[in-house]
């Protein structure tokens, strides 16, 4: 028994979320396994993998670099192996984000007046069409949407020339990318180029491998930007909306449906289906009071941004949500879904429903979702969840007590709108951006930091995010956030304006009060990091500056996915220094570290910085931004 207590304590020390600690105790009592338990089994992780010096790129391998074997069988050294592995991480991330964008683009092609998918933002569509060089005239809005969809699909496989989305960067950035040979030609091509260049017997030059990875990551930025823009066009540009966060949102006698994964196409339909009177009545018929939808990971972020749908938890809480025993259905699409959910849900009444052919999971209930029968599919899935309510076993239910409230929905238009005292606004000239620039230039706000990304079992869940964010806002740095970092902030009350006085420095608290914003702004899902780059670019353009001149930074203090590596790399390529709280697997090559954490600064005006101590990471960010301020103020 002593050993069991010890195991529980060890697991509970791996998270700072109090609800999660309660659920880990329940997991032990229920005899079910979680990531935290599995992590205990991984006392020592593979040193070769951690350093990025294991190569499996051909059948002669695996080859591992050590003092005794300094080269792989083909002669690849540690720099080549680390560089290839890094570039492949960029490609994995770019593939995921851009395939998400491809699905959104196909959905745009299916839009019809009165159909399941419609155009909610015709002006945004027209602006984007013009940007892509499509004549708008007085075309029917749906004809225009279909033309935009075709043009966006060209971004994936344009046979000649370069991506039209390059023009979303400043002219200076475009020139620099051209000079470095990292302009994106087409998204799929950049992914293929990385896979080709990293095949055995191809690229064996670390500098070239990093730049090839960077070009592919810029492809990730192109895909993410398309994903964000088209989602806004079809589902509406987010504006401030109230929400609640943490596992307690599952409390009560409602049918609980959790939406987990990344894409808004299915989940938007689930929202619409669950609001239908027939579904509400069905829920009552089975003895529930109603239906609660909540989200985990970025599907949740997409929904909370546009509808205020509650945030059940972050990446590390997906298993814990099921362990509450109160979830009728966990519906997933793609990315960041633990395969363990299949076995775990057999211990409870939860239906674990997979919906995408790209993310089939053995042991799940597979209900394939098709965009052309979207509403019918969504209704079938919601009905399945409702009918499962009768199987809820009260003796297995324990929903932890804590939840927070917050205001989310800060798209670029919403942020600038707030600063101009209107709801959402077009960002079209210096006038609309001026209030934002003024608070930055006056020093009332010292800088803006994007704190984004995942949870990583290498750090206690949420610790780095929360520590870093609190340090930054205490010192008058405005934090913008996406992904699971946003969930952490929401869970801890940092998305409430009322808490600015408690947590923010005087300057930031005053701005929050004056313009009615919380000290931490939720900008959306992982693809919505494109919003952060967009704002930085617009501010730089309106000031006639370059992005590296701005007092801004990016950070992923608990990153874990390949997508995060691709994001970090495109943020650096855009000229924004990026601070990581977990070391990527590159330390096996001194050259990789020198380039990624140093030499890139000379090439693109920014680089990576790593510190696994969150307080020190915050200090690095703040010191570096403060060092930029005199130059910024002088240019201003
Ligand atoms: Fe080994 Fe070279 Fe094959 Fe990699 S590519 S597994 S280093 S022989
Ligand atoms: S969901 S990629 S754990 S942020 Fe976008 Fe969260 Fe990271 Fe997945």
585: left (phi over 0), alpha (psi -120 to 50) or beta: beta
CA separation for the pair 229, 608 (Å, rounded): 27
Going from the Cα of 107 to the center of ligand 2, the distance in angstroms, rounded, reads 23
Q: Residues 225, 307: one domain?
A: no
- Give per-residue pLDDT as tens, 434-475: 888 899 999 999 999 999 999 999 999 999 999 999 999 999
- Note the pLDDT of residue 310: 98
pLDDT, mean of residues 142-167: 98
Scan for tokens 């010292």, then name that residue: 446
Given strand 608-610, what is the order of strands in its sheet? 520-524, 477-482, 447-451, 552-556, 578-580, 608-610
Name the closest ligand to CA 456. Answer: 2
Q: Say yes or no to pLDDT of 426 above 80.
A: no
- Give per-residue pLDDT as tens, 252-289: 999 999 999 999 999 999 999 999 999 999 999 999 99
pLDDT, mean of residues 70-80: 98
Asked if residue 142 is part of any domain, the answer here is yes
Q: Residues 168, 231: one domain?
A: yes
Q: Which pairing describes strands 447-451 and 477-482: parallel, antiparallel, or unpaired?
A: parallel
- Note the pLDDT of residue 433: 84
Going from the Cα of 64 to the center of ligand 1, the distance in angstroms, rounded, reads 9
CA separation for the pair 410, 448 (Å, rounded): 14
Going from the Cα of 609 to the center of ligand 1, the distance in angstroms, rounded, reads 29
CA separation for the pair 559, 570 (Å, rounded): 15
Residue of minimum CA distance from atom 3 in ligand 1: 58
Q: Say yes or no to pLDDT of 428 above 70.
A: no
Residue of minimum CA distance from atom 7 in ligand 1: 72
Residue 570 near ligand 2, beta carbon < 6 Å: no
Q: Which atom of ligand 2 approaches the CA of 563 most closely?
A: 2
**Among residues 330, 364, 396, which one ends one of the domains?**
396
Residue 72 near ligand 1, beta carbon < 6 Å: yes
Q: Residues 263, 367: one domain?
A: yes
Q: Which atom of ligand 2 approaches the CA of 564 most closely?
A: 2
* CATH assignment of the domain containing 429: 3.40.50.2030
pLDDT, mean of residues 479-485: 97
Q: Say yes or no to pLDDT of 424 above 90.
A: no
Instruction: Answer yes or no: are the C-beta atoms of 31 and 343 closer than 8 Å.
Output: no
Residue 556 near ligand 2, beta carbon < 6 Å: no
Asked if residue 22 is part of any domain, the answer here is no
- Note the pLDDT of residue 417: 87
- Cβ neighbours of residue 187 closer than 8 Å, sequence gap 6 or more: 94, 98, 155, 156, 157, 163, 219, 220, 222, 223
Residues in the chain: 636
Q: What are the Cα distances from residue 117, in Å, to 64, 248, 288, 354, 379?
A: 50, 32, 30, 22, 15
Going by pLDDT thresholds of 50, 70 and 90, the confidence category of residue 413 is very high
* Percent of the chain that is helix, strand, coil (3-state, to 5): 55, 10, 35
* Residues of the chain above pLDDT 70, percent: 98
User: Which residues span the domain enclosing 617?
Assistant: 404-635
HSE-CB of 586 using CA atoms within 13 angstroms: 26
Three-state DSSP string of 199-241: CCCCCCCHHHHHHHHHHHHHHHHHHHHHHHHHHHHHHCCCCCE
- Note the pLDDT of residue 429: 59
Name the closest ligand to CA 96. Answer: 2
Q: Residues 354, 440: one domain?
A: no
Q: Which of 563, 567, 568, when mutated, tests ligand 2's pocket best, judged by the most ligand atoms within 8 Å of its CB? A: 563
- Give per-residue pLDDT as tens, 166-187: 999 999 999 999 999 999 999 9
pLDDT, mean of residues 397-417: 95
HSE-CB of 329 using CA atoms within 13 angstroms: 30
ipTM above 0.90, yes or no: yes
Asked if residue 41 is part of any domain, the answer here is no
Instruction: Answer yes or no: are the C-beta atoms of 481 and 517 closer than 8 Å.
Output: no
Going from the Cα of 54 to the center of ligand 1, the distance in angstroms, rounded, reads 9
Q: Residues 74, 132: one domain?
A: yes
Q: Which atom of ligand 2 approaches the CA of 560 most closely?
A: 7
Residue 202 near ligand 1, beta carbon < 6 Å: no
Going from the Cα of 584 to the center of ligand 2, the distance in angstroms, rounded, reads 16
Asked if residue 283 is part of any domain, the answer here is yes
Q: DSSP string covering 329-374, please? A: EEEE-SSS--TTHHHHHTTSS-EEEE--GGG--TTSEE----GGGH
Residue of minimum CA distance from atom 2 in ligand 1: 74
Q: Residues 408, 386: one domain?
A: no
Q: Which of 303, 333, 453, when mutated, tests ligand 2's pocket best, judged by the most ligand atoms within 8 Å of its CB? A: 453
* CATH assignment of the domain containing 130: 1.20.1270.30
Instruction: Answer yes or no: are the C-beta atoms of 108 and 145 closer than 8 Å.
Output: yes
Going by pLDDT thresholds of 50, 70 and 90, the confidence category of residue 3 is low
Q: Residues 421, 545: one domain?
A: yes
pLDDT, mean of residues 341-352: 98
- Note the pLDDT of residue 423: 72
Going by pLDDT thresholds of 50, 70 and 90, the confidence category of residue 431 is confident
Q: Residues 207, 92: one domain?
A: yes
Residue 58 CB burial class (10 angstroms; 0-12, 13-18, ≥19): middle
Mean pLDDT of the chain: 96
456 alpha-carbon distance from chain centroid: 14
Residue 409 near ligand 1, beta carbon < 6 Å: no
Going by pLDDT thresholds of 50, 70 and 90, the confidence category of residue 430 is low
Q: Which atom of ligand 2 approaches the CA of 559 most closely?
A: 7
Going by pLDDT thresholds of 50, 70 and 90, the confidence category of residue 420 is confident
Q: Which of 556, 103, 155 is nearest to 335 (CA)?
A: 103
pLDDT, mean of residues 48-76: 98
Three-state DSSP string of 49-72: HHHCCEECCCCCCCEECCCCCCCC
Asked if residue 343 is part of any domain, the answer here is yes
- Note the pLDDT of residue 366: 98
**Among residues 235, 255, 277, which one ends one of the domains?**
235
Q: Which of 299, 333, 564, when mutated, tests ligand 2's pocket best, judged by the most ligand atoms within 8 Å of its CB? A: 564
Beta bridge partners of 310: 294
Asked if residue 36 is part of any domain, the answer here is no
Q: Say yes or no to pLDDT of 356 above 90.
A: yes
Going from the Cα of 548 to the center of ligand 2, the distance in angstroms, rounded, reads 26
Residue 73 near ligand 1, beta carbon < 6 Å: yes
Residue 58 near ligand 1, beta carbon < 6 Å: yes
Q: Say yes or no to pLDDT of 220 above 80.
A: yes
- Give per-residue pLDDT as tens, 5-41: 699 999 999 999 999 999 999 999 999 999 999 999 9
Q: Say yes or no to pLDDT of 211 above 80.
A: yes
Q: Residues 222, 266: one domain?
A: no
Q: What is the enclosing helix (H) or strand (E) of 554?
A: strand 552-556
3-state secondary structure of 107: helix
**Among residues 235, 261, 286, which one ends one of the domains?**
235
Going from the Cα of 561 to the center of ligand 2, the distance in angstroms, rounded, reads 7
| Token code pair at residue 271 | 């929202």
Q: Which of 48, 49, 53, 55, when mutated, tests ligand 1's pocket best, judged by the most ligand atoms within 8 Å of its CB? A: 55
Asked if residue 9 is part of any domain, the answer here is no
> Which ranges of 388-462 would DSSP assign to H, the alpha helix?
412-419, 430-442
Residue 563 near ligand 2, beta carbon < 6 Å: yes
Going by pLDDT thresholds of 50, 70 and 90, the confidence category of residue 4 is low
Residue 575 near ligand 2, beta carbon < 6 Å: no
Q: Say yes or no to pLDDT of 541 above 60.
A: yes
CA separation for the pair 110, 117 (Å, rounded): 7
Going from the Cα of 503 to the center of ligand 2, the distance in angstroms, rounded, reads 25
Residue 60 near ligand 1, beta carbon < 6 Å: yes
Residue 199 near ligand 1, beta carbon < 6 Å: no
Q: Which of 293, 264, 218, 250 is nearest to 104 (CA)?
A: 264
Asked if residue 28 is part of any domain, the answer here is no
Number of domains comprising the chain: 3
Q: Which atom of ligand 2 approaches the CA of 485 most closely?
A: 4
Q: Which of 95, 96, 315, 332, when mutated, tests ligand 2's pocket best, judged by the most ligand atoms within 8 Å of its CB? A: 315
Q: Which atom of ligand 1 approaches the CA of 72 most closely?
A: 7
- Give per-residue pLDDT as tens, 579-634: 999 999 999 999 999 999 999 999 999 999 999 999 999 999 999 999 999 999 98
Scan for tokens 């201003």, then name that residue: 636
Q: Residues 166, 200: one domain?
A: yes
Q: Which of 572, 575, 601 is nearest to 584 (CA)?
A: 572
Q: Residues 392, 410: one domain?
A: no
Q: Residues 308, 410: one domain?
A: no
């Amino acid at each position: 028994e002593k050993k069991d207590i010890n195991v529980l304590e060890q697991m509970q020390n791996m998270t700072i979320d109090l609800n999660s600690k309660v659920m880990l105790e329940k997991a032990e009592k229920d005899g079910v396994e979680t990531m935290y338990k599995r992590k205990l089994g991984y006392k020592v992780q593979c040193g070769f993998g951690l350093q990025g010096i294991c190569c499996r790129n051909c059948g002669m391998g695996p080859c591992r670099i050590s003092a005794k074997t300094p080269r792989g069988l083909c002669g690849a050294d540690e720099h080549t192996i680390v560089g290839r592995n890094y570039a492949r991480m960029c490609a994995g991330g770019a593939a995921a984000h851009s395939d998400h964008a491809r699905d959104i683009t196909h959905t745009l092609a299916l839009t019809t007046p009165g159909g399941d998918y419609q155009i909610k933002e015709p002006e945004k569509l027209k602006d984007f069409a013009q940007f892509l060089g499509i004549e708008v005239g007085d075309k029917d809005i749906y004809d225009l949407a279909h033309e935009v969809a075709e043009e966006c699909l060209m971004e994936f496989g344009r046979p000649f020339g370069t991506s039209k989305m390059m023009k979303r960067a400043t002219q200076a950035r475009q020139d620099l990318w051209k000079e470095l040979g990292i302009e994106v030609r087409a998204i799929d091509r950049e992914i293929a180029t990385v896979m080709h260049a990293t095949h055995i017997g191809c690229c064996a030059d670390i500098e070239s491998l990093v730049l090839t990875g960077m070009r592919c990551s810029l492809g990730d930025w192109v895909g993410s930007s398309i994903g964000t823009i088209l989602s806004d066009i079809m589902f509406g540009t987010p504006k401030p909306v109230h929400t609640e966060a943490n596992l307690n949102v599952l409390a009560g006698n409602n049918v609980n449906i959790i939406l987990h994964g990344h894409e808004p196409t299915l989940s938007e339909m689930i929202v619409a289906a669950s609001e239908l009177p027939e579904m509400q009545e069905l829920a009552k018929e089975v003895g529930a009071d109603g239906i609660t939808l909540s989200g985990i990971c970025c599907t949740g972020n997409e929904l909370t941004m546009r509808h205020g749908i509650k945030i059940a938890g972050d990446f590390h809480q997906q298993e814990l949500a099921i362990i509450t025993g109160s979830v009728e259905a966990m519906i997933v699409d793609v990315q960041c879904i633990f395969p363990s959910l299949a076995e775990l849900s057999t211990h409870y009444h939860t239906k674990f429903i997979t919906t995408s052919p790209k993310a089939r999971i053995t042991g799940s209930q597979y209900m394939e979702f098709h965009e052309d029968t979207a509403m019918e599919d969504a209704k079938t899935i919601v009905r399945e969840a409702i009918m499962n309510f009768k199987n809820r076993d009260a003796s297995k239910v324990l929903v932890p007590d804590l939840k927070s409230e917050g205001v989310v929905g800060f798209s670029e238009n919403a942020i600038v709108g707030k600063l101009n005292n209107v709801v959402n606004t077009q960002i079209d000239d210096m006038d609309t951006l001026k209030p934002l620039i003024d608070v930055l230039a006056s020093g009332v706000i010292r800088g803006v930091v994007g704190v984004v990304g995942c949870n990583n079992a290498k750090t206690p869940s949420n610790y780095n995010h929360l520590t870093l964010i609190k340090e930054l806002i205490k010192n008058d740095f405005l934090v913008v956030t996406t992904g699971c970092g946003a969930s952490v902030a929401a869970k801890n009350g940092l998305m409430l304006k009322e808490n600015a006085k408690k947590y923010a420095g005087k300057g930031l608290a005053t701005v929050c009060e004056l313009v009615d914003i919380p000290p931490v702004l939720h900008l959306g899902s992982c693809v919505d990091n494109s919003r952060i780059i967009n704002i930085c670019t617009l501010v730089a353009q309106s000031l006639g500056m370059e992005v590296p001149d701005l007092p801004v930074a990016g950070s992923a203090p608990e990153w874990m996915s390949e997508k995060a590596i691709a994001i970090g790399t495109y943020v650096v390529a855009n000229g924004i220094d990026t601070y990581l709280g977990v070391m990527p697997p590159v330390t096996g090559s001194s050259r990789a570290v020198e380039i990624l954490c140093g030499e890139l600064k000379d090439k693109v005006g920014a680089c990576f910085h790593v510190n696994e101590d969150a307080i020190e990471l915050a200090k690095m960010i703040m010191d570096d931004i403060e060092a930029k301020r005199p130059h910024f103020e002088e240019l201003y």
